[in-house]
Amino acid sequence: MYLTDLSIKRPVVATVMSLVLVIFGLVTFNKIPLRELPDVDSAKVNIRTDYAGASATIIDTQITQKIEDRIGGTPGIVTIDSTSEDGRSSITLEFDLDVDLDTAANDVREKIARIVDNLPEGAEPPEIYKSSAARTTTMWLAFQSPSMSDLELTDYADRYLKDLFSTVPGVGNIRLGGEREFSLRVWLDPIAMAARNITVLELESILKKENVEFPAGKIESKYVDLVIKVEKAYKKLQDYKDLVLKRAGDGSLIKLGDIARLEFGALNSSTLFKGNGNQTVGIGIYQQSTANTIEVARAVKKKIKEIEPSLPEDSTLTVSFDRSTYIEAAIGEVYKTLFIAVILVVLIIYLFLGNITGVIIPAVAIPVALISTFLAIYLAGFTLNLFTLMALVLAIVIVVDDAIVMGENISRRLEKGETALVAAYRGSKQVAFAIIATTVVLVSVFLPLVFIKGLIGKLFSEMALTLSFAVIISSFVALSLSPMIGSKFLKTSKKKNQGLF
């Protein structure tokens, strides 16, 4: 065969070909994203519509059902999950795994645009979000302070910490958990409102008109240009209390403080977020889909150390949940298994061959084939996860088969008295097509896994292709590097095998 002949006649060429594969495999190894599982994210689109003051029944009949009827025929939809609660409608659409998320979102937006005019007048326009089935937080950070209130913690985290962590490489999104947004709470007195003939809708309209700031033009002169704005925004609590709503029949002024109790407080008072018994604001870190989980976690921890000196006095910022800890432990165990498997395979080969030089060929073939597989994983766009690494563990025994066949056939001809060069030349020719046939059979066994549909197919396709890559590369190594090593280093044992051998 041409490849085996070339490798024996040009040993440097055979060595360089394998070295190039190994070098590229090592270089791309650090560039492959590290994840717990393969990328099996299904396309999900969430439609959220707010309708303040409406009951769950009205939300369901006036908003949720109308949207469901319109989007039901969108191509690729698998399930529709809707929730109607007081003041809000939430609909989640799950699409087929093969559907592009951007395309699905655009289809939904187009259908929603046709029914916006049919929704209740007081309802907010539907908001459409792209999400993912496996979209989970990479880390949760706990921001605490015994001297700061929950409103102050939220304000600081929103103003400073979110922006600081958004700049970390690999971070895709930041969300706050247990945030207490600063707002003005107005507790209405229905008896006082009835006595002064003021309705809630009338009060809402007045508040929207009064608490605004808008431009009023521009003054241009020879030396100075001035921008004018009309500022009607209120800043102090007393300003809101003194807000005039209307004039009573007797000529007196009715103020907001006459019909309501006002206070500054949290926008949502029905939830509470605590950590170790203390008021806490959680900072959720979401990584980008192609980012390395462990690298993102390390970068976030490094950023925490950088900003700790600038945090408010008595405040702390700690990691309360870190997904990378489990991934590091799981991947570490796979690496240990990989290392142990290599040692056991080499040891067993030596016990059966009984010749230390005969172990060289399979012992070299294993690392060359496995390391070179990282290049194929990188080019295929896969990640290093439990499934691809499991494929490498399974591939150890498979990739060594071709090298054993090649080495054993060369060794057999050496025992007949042929020189190493002649034995390698003739022996490699005898088994070359057998090695190729074995490779084709093994690949044909694994490749059908790629055609499995659904979530299971997504999970096992990377494992099947990784195994196929390893088998193909091992065949190349067995037909190039192995005969070259046999022609240079393989020797027969002069002592007869005894005892355990």
For residue range 191-230, what is the model confidence (pLDDT) as tens digits? Answer: 888 888 888 888 878 777 776 655 666 777 767 777 666 6
**CA separation for the pair 201, 185 (Å, rounded):** 16
Segment among 459-463, 477-481, 492-496 with least mean pLDDT = 492-496
> Hey, which residues does 287 pair with through a beta bridge?
171
What contacts 36, CB < 8 A, 6 or more positions away? 293, 323, 326, 327, 330, 385, 386
| 125 confidence band (pLDDT: 50, 70, 90) | confident
Select from 470, 262, 284 the least CA-distant residue to 370.
470
- pLDDT in the model for residue 134: 44
How many whole angstroms separate alpha carbon 98 and alpha carbon 115?
Answer: 28
Q: What are phi and psi of 213, to 5 degrees?
A: -140, 125
Q: Which CATH architecture has domain 186-261?
A: 2-Layer Sandwich (3.30)
Q: What is the DSSP letter of 451?
A: G
**Is the pLDDT score of 240 beyond 70?**
yes
- The structure tokens listed for 495 are 């002592």
> What band does 22 get if pLDDT is binned at 50, 70 and 90?
very high
Across 15-24, 167-176, 482-491, the highest mean pLDDT is recorded for: 15-24
Determine how many CB atoms are found less than 10 A away from the CB of residue 17: 20
Rounded Cα distance between 206 and 216, Å, is: 20
23-32, 272-281, 328-337, range with greatest mean pLDDT:
23-32
Q: What are the φ/ψ torsions at residue 129 (nearest 5 degrees)?
A: -120, 140
Lowest mean pLDDT among 141-150, 206-215, 256-265, 453-462: 206-215
Is 60 exceeded by the pLDDT of residue 132? no
- What are the φ and ψ backbone dihedral angles of 124, each rounded to 5 degrees? -75, 155
A 10 A CB-CB count for 199 gives 10
Cα 158 versus chain centre, distance: 23
Encode pLDDT of 290-325 as tens digits: 677 888 888 999 999 999 888 888 888 889 888 888
pLDDT at 188 over 50: yes
Give the residue from 36, 29, 21 showing the smallest Cα distance to 385: 36
Distance (Å, whole) CA 372 – CA 387: 18
Give the bridge partners for 495, in sequence order: none
pLDDT at 495: 53
Instruction: Return the pLDDT at 398.
Output: 83
Rounded to 5 degrees, φ, ψ at 200 are: -65, -40
**Cα dihedral 13, 18, 23, 26 in deg (nearest 10):** 180
Q: Rounded mean pLDDT of 281-288?
A: 84
Q: Which segment, 323-327, 348-352, 454-458, is predicted with the most confidence on average? A: 323-327
Distance CA 380, CA 463 (A): 12
Residue spans of alpha helices (H) in 354-453? 356-379, 386-415, 420-446
| Whether the predicted pLDDT of 239 surpasses 90 | no
Cα–Cα–Cα angle for 129, 134, 136, rounded to 5 degrees = 80
C-alpha to C-alpha distance for 403 and 459, rounded to whole angstroms: 30
CB-based burial of residue 231 (10 Å sphere; 0-12 exposed, 13-18 middle, 19+ buried)? Answer: exposed
Question: For 223-232, 442-451, 476-485, which range has the lowest pLDDT when averaged over its residues?
Answer: 223-232
Domain locations in the chain as residue ranges: 2-37+327-489, 42-133, 186-261
Q: Does 42-133 carry CATH code 3.90.580.10?
A: no
Q: Where are the beta strands (DSSP E) in 178-297?
A: 182-188, 213-220, 225-231, 244-247, 253-255, 260-266, 274-275, 278-287
- The model's pTM is 0.65
- State mean pLDDT over 425-454: 87
- Across the range 54-79, mean pLDDT stands at 86
- pLDDT > 70? residue 190: yes
Q: Identify the residue whose tokens are 């394998």.
A: 18
Distance from C-alpha of 82 to C-alpha of 77, rounded to nearest angstrom: 14
* Range with the poorest average pLDDT among 84-98, 241-255, 260-274: 260-274
- Confidence class for position 131, pLDDT limits 50, 70, 90: low
What confidence score (pLDDT) does residue 341 get?
80
Least confident of 42-46, 68-72, 121-125: 42-46
Q: What is the CA radius of gyration of the chain?
A: 35
Question: The dihedral of CA 142, 148, 154, 160: what is its sign?
Answer: negative
pLDDT at 46: 85
DSSP state of 490: -
* Highest-confidence segment of 24-28, 67-71, 231-235, 340-344: 24-28
Residue 38 has pLDDT above 60, yes or no: yes
Q: Give the CATH superfamily of 2-37+327-489.
A: Multidrug efflux transporter AcrB transmembrane domain (1.20.1640.10)
Average pLDDT, the chain: 82
Give me the phi and psi of 183, to 5 degrees please: -155, 170
Strands 127-132 and 43-50: antiparallel
353-373 average pLDDT score: 82
C-alpha to C-alpha distance for 387 and 437, rounded to whole angstroms: 26
CB environment 376-410: b (16+ within 10 A), e (fewer): bbbeeebbbbbbbbbbbbbbbebbbbbbbbbbbbb
| Contact partners, residue 376, CB within 8 Å, separation at least 6 | 466, 469, 473
Residue tagged 């018994």 (tokens): 277
pLDDT at 303: 92
Q: Is the pLDDT of residue 252 over 90?
A: no
Overall residue count recorded for the chain in this entry: 501
pLDDT at residue number 20: 93
pLDDT computed for residue 133 by the predictor: 41
User: For a pLDDT cut of 70, what percent of the chain falls above it?
Assistant: 91
